[in-house]
Amino acid sequence: MRLWAIAIAASLATSGALAKGGHKHHAKPAETPQSAAPASTASEPNGSWSIEATTSVGTCPSLIPTKLQIAEGKIASAEGAAVESWGYVDEEGNIVARFTGSGDHIARFHGTLKGGKGSGAWSSSTDMCGGTWKAAQQ
């Protein structure tokens, strides 16, 4: 029985390794244009974004801004909520941000900005609330 469990675990680990092993094939010099694609999308999120946040759990003060300005992959400014902002967008369009309002109210914000659209989730452990958000590039 123990041998059978080890064989199954080894089989699953091998199949996972094979699935991950496909990355070696993508590193061929012939595929250079494909591997250059993420670099071109890195500048895509830069600019002005309108944000529409909804609360689905709890009740919160307005901590999510209605507009973000992104420059060089970082949040340069936030409008529409009296908050301090911090955040970045990685090469794949994933955004991670934190908005801090008066009285140490904090909201964490994450999701994706890609192709002129965005969506994700936000939450506030200080106010026990959270929800989702959508974005459109201006």
pLDDT at 43: 58
How many residues make up the chain in this entry? 138
pLDDT for residue 106: 94
Give the whole-angstrom CA distance, residue 34 versus residue 83: 39
The pLDDT of residue 99 is 95
Domain 42-137: which topology? Lipocalin (2.40.128)
Domain locations in the chain?
2-38, 42-137
Amino acid at 101: G
Do strands 129-137 and 74-79 pair parallel, antiparallel, or not at all (unpaired)? unpaired
Structure tokens that stand for 81 in this block: 């909520």
- Per-residue pLDDT of the chain (138 residues), as tens digits, is 433 334 344 343 434 433 444 444 444 444 444 444 344 444 589 999 999 999 999 988 788 999 999 999 999 999 988 789 999 999 999 999 999 998 889 999 999 999 999 999 999 999 999 999 999 999
CA distance 24 to 37: 17
Nearest to 81 by CA among 95, 109, 61: 61
